[in-house]
Structure 1
Amino acid sequence: MKGVPEWIWAPVSAALLTAIAGAMGLWAGLPWLFPSLGPTIFLQVHKPEQKSARPYNVIVGHAAGIIAAVIGVFTLGAGSAPPVLSSNELTWPRIWASAIAMGLTLLLQVPLKASHPPAAATAMLIALGGFSLTWRDMGVLAAGILLVALLGEGLRRLRQPGA
């Protein structure tokens, strides 16, 4: 697919991957499409040569963000604070949980060589209460991440053979 101009390839691929992830989530009755997957998709289709677009970085990077946020929210008891996006109320426990989540995300990603900036958004979604610390929500995150990592890798390889 090297012959397709970037100005066509990237937007069409991004829209297609987003629609597929959303449709599969709708079919499953679960929100497998969430905001931090947007930048992941962007990297996979627009910057396929970057290490951060590779499946290892996508999966391990987001996992680091999830683990970091869970630690931040659990440690500070921020789960009992209102979710910021639905309540429009920012509280100190959510702020400190976010700070811990951001720091730990990098602390985990760097030695694992799993840099994936969109994972910071996943960490913030959890720390700010967009996802709660339930098995269901953690499963939704994992499913969406794995789905986009796998489908996005197919598009990434089409754009960059030998990737």
Structure 2
Amino acid sequence: MGLRKIVEVLLTAAILGVVAAIAVWWQEPFLAPSLGSAVFTQLLHPEEASARPYAILMGQVLGAASGFAGVFLTGANMQPPFMGAHPLVWTRVAAIVVTAVLAASLQLVSGALTPAGGATALIVAIGAEADDPAGAAHLAVGLLLVTSLGEAARRLVLRMKGADRPT
């Protein structure tokens, strides 16, 4: 593994560590699993359209909105989350299907395609993120942190890649 790849890996870990540290400091759950997917996309595939800030932020906002819509349209908000001791129930399955249709459609129409947005949609649909204003706020803070920190690091990685190209 070359120096550039080592830097990409270290930046990925640093960004996730910073967001996690902020979450600990504030004692708020700002770090959702889909944010890891976003950072990996931003730094390990920085040239791809899905790594750009619009796709990272808007794709996940649309995914979250789709998840919340799917949960409320199907009544899954009345069910326990599919986590730990709680099994997956049919209402959550319906929420997952509705969420997937909405998230994929909205991402396609908006041009904000990113796997992280699909992951965010699923996290909300299964109930891993609270389906209330506080859950939405926590997710929003995490999205803003990852998008801004990840974009700064992505630009650095792209500059490093440019320096590797022969002139």
Class of the TM-score when normalised by the shorter of the 2 chains: over 0.9
Please tell me whether residue 5 in structure 1 is matched to residue 4 in structure 2. yes
Match of 1:31, SS? coil
How many residue pairs are counted as aligned between the two chains?
160
- Pairing partner for 2:92 from 86, 94, 98: 94
Match of 2:31, SS? coil
Q: Provide the rounded CA distance (Å) in 2 between the counterparts of 1:113 and 1:11.
A: 27
Structure 2 residue runs of 5 or longer lacking an equivalent are: 163-167
Is the CA contact (8 Å cut-off) linking 1:65 and 1:120 kept in structure 2? yes
Aligned residue in 2 for 1:69: 67
Is the CA contact (8 Å cut-off) linking 1:78 and 1:97 kept in structure 2? yes
Amino acid at match of 2:98: I
Return the offset for 1:77: 0.7
Aligned residue in 1 for 2:79: 81
Q: Provide the rounded CA distance (Å) in 1 between the counterparts of 2:155 and 2:144.
A: 16
Q: Higher Cα Rg: structure 1 or 2?
A: 2
Structure 1 residue runs of 5 or longer lacking an equivalent are: none
Runs of 4+ in structure 1 deviating by more than 3 angstroms, as ranges, are: none
Alignment of 1:74-153 (within 5 A): 74-153=72-151
Return the offset for 1:15: 0.8
Q: Provide the rounded CA distance (Å) in 1 between the counterparts of 2:65 and 2:36.
A: 20
1:13-57, CA deviations, whole angstroms, 9 ceiling, x for partnerless residues? 111011001011111211111111111110111111111111110
Return the offset for 1:9: 1.8
Is the CA contact (8 Å cut-off) linking 2:124 and 2:130 kept in structure 1? yes
Q: Provide the rounded CA distance (Å) in 2 between the counterparts of 1:67 and 1:9.
A: 34
1:94-136, CA deviations, whole angstroms, 9 ceiling, x for partnerless residues? 0010111111101000110000111111111111111122110
TM-score (norm: length of structure 1): 0.93
Is the CA contact (8 Å cut-off) linking 1:79 and 1:132 kept in structure 2? no
Please tell me whether residue 45 in structure 1 is matched to residue 43 in structure 2. yes
Structure 1 vs Structure 2 CA RMSD: 1.6
Q: Provide the rounded CA distance (Å) in 2 between the counterparts of 1:131 and 1:21.
A: 17
Aligned residue in 2 for 1:60: 58
Return the offset for 1:88: 3.4
Is the CA contact (8 Å cut-off) linking 1:17 and 1:41 kept in structure 2? yes
Is the CA contact (8 Å cut-off) linking 1:78 and 1:94 kept in structure 2? yes
Match of 2:19, SS? helix
